Amino acid sequence: MLVDTLGLMLHAVVHSAGLQDRDGGVLVMATLFGMFPFLRKLYADAGYQGPKFQAALKRVLRQVQIQIVRRSDTAQGFAVLPRRWIVERTIAWLNRCRRLAKDWENLNRTALAFLRLASIRLMMRRLCQH
């Protein structure tokens, strides 16, 4: 899932649980098809580090620089990580939708449709509050 700094979903791909996050991240980036040419920096967690993901990202989006947000080895208990909290907050907001709380969809396209509907709901609520 690609999320902007406001926590709104820009793009998502739903795949089987057998696909590793790193490979799914490449799939998300590969399916953008120039939708966001202004992207310059990508923040990712430690699951996306390594030469395989970075090489695949360079093939798909040459202009994007990746920055891995790592947990501190010295931190004890809960610690807010820069930029990672935006994605975690967005996932928490989306999980408030009952339909997304359980992964019971039979088809990936159905799960993606409900994910988009939940994102639209979040966007509408934010737009209507002001």
> How far is Cα of residue 86 from the mean position of the Cα atoms in its chain?
10
pLDDT-derived band at 130 (thresholds 50, 70, 90) equals low
CA distance 73 to 20: 24
Using one digit for the tens of pLDDT, what is the confidence trace for 62-108? 888 888 877 777 777 777 777 777 777 777 888 788 777 666 777 88
Q: Which residue has the higher pLDDT, 3 or 64?
A: 64
CA distance 61 to 43: 14
**What is the number of alpha carbons within 13 Å of residue 40 lying toward its C-beta?**
1
For position 101, what pLDDT does the model report? 66
